Amino acid sequence: MDKIFVIAEIGINHNGNILLAKKLIDVAVRCGCDAVKFQKRDIYTVYTKKYLSEPRESPWGTTQLDQKKGLEFDYESYLEIDKYCKLKDINWFASAWDIKSLEFLDKFRLKYQKVASAMITHNEFLNAVADRKKHTFISTGMSTIEDIDNAVEIFKKKKCDFELMHSVSTYPADEKDLNLNMILALKKRYNCKVGYSGHEPSVSPSLVACSLGANSLERHVTLDRASYGSDQSASLEETGLSALVGSVRKIKSILGNGEKTFLEKEKKVAKKLRYWE
């Protein structure tokens, strides 16, 4: 088993505040994560004018438009994030939710890219992502096996390195719905790396996923699960994330190589207990 690649999903939990985003990056660094991930949307592409005009109370105003604009970082903010992550020696990337946002992210030399579960059925978008030939994490929530077949075919045809991520797109996810054996099923069907993107409030399913052979793990991170935002309750605070990453890093050594060994330590015990030898 290779080292499990741990992604701290900041997403939109920064609530449009660059200082909060930096604090969340700091949490990811302290917890030993390999990368942080954000989300990028062109709100006028992703949402209809009718939807954006609908009422919604938020810290930024009284309409959906106010809320969506309040959650989006501009180029200067991402430039600051880029510099800060380099300073902290941690990778960052983002899941684009439309082609304009994908082109926006081209302004930064990112090593990774992400297809969110919502985008797995958007063929034009999938082709555009695959054209960039970067290692791509593809979340498989709210999809059918045929949807995944189609996405895999596109990435293989384009010869773009990818990794599927089993996911259940409810926030927070109910543990009885997680179906973690899909990690094994996806590996068998596609002969590729498979990770796990979890949205449950606890840490134990993530440990089970990694024990089943997940190559990567993505979990939402927050400073306070009671904060404003749709993803906060499905996120981990620093204490939980730190405990999770610490446990994940032990899995490889705990699982071992599967070959039966009579340890020298055991021989000393056997000498005491096997009175007939």
Q: What pLDDT, on a 0 to 100 scale, did the predictor assign at position 226?
A: 81
Read off the pLDDT of residues 203-226 as tens digits, 9 standing for 90 and up. Answer: 999 999 999 999 999 999 999 888
**What structural domains does the chain harbor?**
5-39+85-273 (3.20.20.70)
Distance of CA 277 to the CA centre of its chain: 54
pLDDT at 201 over 90: no
Tokens of 134: 């970067």
Read off the pLDDT of residues 175-194 as tens digits, 9 standing for 90 and up. Answer: 999 999 999 999 999 999 99
Share of the chain above pLDDT 70, in %: 100
Read off the pLDDT of residues 126-150 as tens digits, 9 standing for 90 and up. Answer: 999 999 999 999 999 999 999 999 9
Q: What pLDDT, on a 0 to 100 scale, did the predictor assign at position 1?
A: 56
CA distance 105 to 96: 8
Read off the pLDDT of residues 70-110 as tens digits, 9 standing for 90 and up. Answer: 999 999 999 999 999 999 999 999 999 999 999 999 999 99
In this prediction, residues 104-124 reach a mean pLDDT of 97
What number of H helices and E strands is found in the chain?
A: 13, 10
Distance of CA 24 to the CA centre of its chain: 15
Read off the pLDDT of residues 30-83 as tens digits, 9 standing for 90 and up. Answer: 999 999 999 999 999 999 999 999 999 999 999 999 999 999 999 999 999 999
Q: What is the pTM of this model?
A: 0.94
Length of the chain: 277
Tokens of 69: 């604009």
